[in-house]
Structure 1
Amino acid sequence: MSKKKTDNQRSSGFFKHPGKWAVAVVLKAVAMLPFGGLYFLSEVLYLLIKGLVKYRSEVIIDNLIHAFPEKSASEILQLRNKFYRYFCDVSLESIKLYRLSEKELKRRVSFVGTEALNKLAEKRNGAILLAFHYNNWEWSGALQQQLNCKLLMVYNKMRDNEPMDKFLQKAREKWGGEAVQMGRAAKVTFRYFAKKEPAVVGLIADQSALASSQLWAMFLNREAAFFQGPLTIARKTNQPVFFQEVVRLARGKYECRYSLLVEDPSKLNANEILLRYIEKMEEVIKSNPEYYLWSHKRWKHKRPEGTALIQ
């Protein structure tokens, strides 16, 4: 393809979707803010979404009521407001990742449990890392700097906003890891496995799966569908499964902790692996619930008739 034709395509894309490109420009500008300016902006956004916009308030409150039926209406409202404050911080911190320096990263993010992760990944030709939408999961991509092998970060492509998707992909890959679209995760993982090149496959595995999924289990007191992919990969490769927990130490400072969830997945069925993952998530979420992504429509699907609920 000629350079002129490529330039014309880019120009055409810009004028066809100027709003989407403008969003990418704004994001890059926000990423340049120092942390003081970033958190000042966060405070402004917090006041807006709490008092004026009430961002997905009904979804958040409904999710919290089901997850914590023992809490009063005032407690649920307080928890929603705590979530709003966290949500503003973590959203802007995720944008800041685009321009975050290595020096600043080391000052703000620490890692625990990577020795065991590295050891087993090298011994077993890779590992599966199950994470979830808790605290600043985006900054945990810097795990690549702690690994002796490649980190494959599985993500869902934003098909309706290419400039935004490219912005996020560049931010995620800046530490050397490889961002892999969810539909290609198994193929890419098995390619590394076949070449005997150890890779740690990181998945945010609490995302809402389709209603047609065969994996349904109770999660925070509600029936929820889960993706089969992570468990299928783990059992076929028999790579150890680790769990990621991101702990907030202070504003803008985190500790990423890694613990072994299943050492030999081939010896367990997918259901048992999933239940262990859910148990760990619930344990972490209930300790500090405001740091979970309650605005996500996690429980929007209903279990189809005839699909069994994992017990």
Structure 2
Amino acid sequence: MQLTIFILVYPLLWLVSRLPFKLIYLLSDGVYALLYHAIGYRKKVVRSNLALVFPEKSQVERLVIEKRFYKHMCDMFLEMIKTMGISKEEIQKRFTVTNFELLHSLEEKGTNTMLMLPHYASWEWVLSLNLQIQSKGYGIYQKIENKYFDKLIRQIRGKFNTTLISTRESRKILKAAKESNELLMVGIISDQSPMVSRAKYWTDFMGIVVPAHVGGEEICKANDIVPVYLKVKKKKRGYYEGTFKILSENPSEVEDYKITDAFLRETEKSIREAPEYYFWTHKRWKHRNKVPLEFQNQ
């Protein structure tokens, strides 16, 4: 069944990935009309999240954010498909960085880094950064259940010098890489909601106490990897700009969970600046009513 699905879907993905950007965004407009107006994909989740996070905004203001978000979401997913066919030169033109010298200075010191980023703006095209660094680029990701699509994702990101490692194998692989004196840059999306049963830390995020994902911080502290927040702005349709900010120069000396808090504070700044680019279809605040007693007075 997995192979059948792959055989049926892959030709369509390949075809879309070869379209010029002008047609990509024309297609995105059509997908937006279908998802938002016809199907109403996850509208209840999006509206609930926006009402929770922005109670001070009027319903009209939140509706504007909602519509802009859906348009961006459609753009982003078509851009992700386009990654299959985009050239290295094109992706570097469309995803630029304001202060690459910061990362290069860390590399010159032999410092391993972890890019911590949220589901904001474009996280897929961040992989283009690996074309401009000396470090070996790793990306921590959740394996796709369909093994054929999982292999395809690995191949796509591999052409931009990114080695994907699953969350389950990440600690072992990164520890071995450090022991072999490999210079690393690791990418991880750190704003997702962990399972309540596995949650180690709860903290305020956009005014609501929720469980926080601490895997990125734990890897940094265990392997002396410097955590760096990558702030991404959407300049215009199909163009993004990133800025690096060091969260801690000495992660092993930082009090537990302070790196996670620093990451979440930076994420909040990004969201408040342009909320339409955050991924509001995620049920990020679904565990807000399950806060353990020791965290309820935060």
| TM-score, structure 1 as length reference | 0.90
Instruction: Say which of 141, 144, 152 aligns to 1:158.
Output: 144
Specify the alignment match of 2:76 in structure 1. 90
Does structure 2 conserve the Cα–Cα contact (< 8 Å) formed by 1:154 and 1:182? yes
SS of the residue aligned with 1:59? helix
Q: Is 1:206 aligned to 2:191, yes or no?
A: yes
Q: Deviations over 1:184-231 (max 9, x none)?
A: 111111111111111011100111211121111111122222222211
8 A Cα contact 1:209 1:227, kept in partner: yes
Which residue identity lines up with residue 85 of structure 2 in the other structure?
A: R
AA at the equivalent of 2:295: A
Instruction: Give distance in 1, aligned partners of 2:107 and 2:205.
Output: 29
Q: Which of 110, 114, 119 is the equivalent residue of 2:100?
A: 114
The question of 1:222 aligning with 2:222 is answered no
**Whole-angstrom distance in 2 between the partners of 1:110 and 1:13:** 36
Partner of residue 178 from structure 1, selected from 134, 158, 163: 163
Secondary structure in 2 aligned to 1:99? coil
Instruction: Tell whether 2:235 aligns with 1:231.
Output: no
Deviation at 1:238, TM superposition (A): 2.3
Structure 2 counterpart of 1:53, one-letter code: I
Local SS of the residue matching 1:44: helix
Matched, 1:272 2:258: yes
| Two-structure CA RMSD over aligned residues (Å) | 1.8
Which amino acid letter does the alignment assign opposite residue 238 of structure 1? D
- CA–CA distance in 2 between the matches of 1:188 and 1:96? 30
- 5+ long unaligned stretches in structure 1: 1-11
Measured in 2, the distance between the counterparts of 1:174 and 1:224 equals: 37
Contact 1:135–1:248 (CA<8 Å) still a contact in 2?
A: yes
2:58 to 35, 58, 72: 72
Q: Is 1:305 matched with 2:292?
A: yes
Deviation at 1:310, TM superposition (A): 9.1
Percent sequence identity is 31
The structure-2 alpha-carbon separation of the partners of 1:192 and 1:88, relative to structure 1 and needing over 3 Å to count, comes to same
Query: Match of 1:294, as an amino acid?
Result: W
* 1:118 CA displacement: 2.7
Corresponding position of 1:141:
127
Query: Unmatched 5+ residue regions in structure 2?
Result: none
Aligned residues: 296
Q: For 1:296, which of 282, 286, 289 is the aligned residue?
A: 282
Give per-residue Cα distances to partners, 1:144-194, cap 9 Å, x unaligned.
0121111111111121x3333333222222211111111111111111111
* 2:165 alignment partner, SS class: strand
Q: 1:74 to 1:85 in 2, by over 3 A?
A: same
Q: Name the CA shift for 1:208/1:20 in 2 (closer, same or farther; >3 Å).
A: farther
Structure 1 letter corresponding to 2:193 = S
TM-score (norm 2): 0.93
- Compute the displacement of 1:122 (Å): 4.5
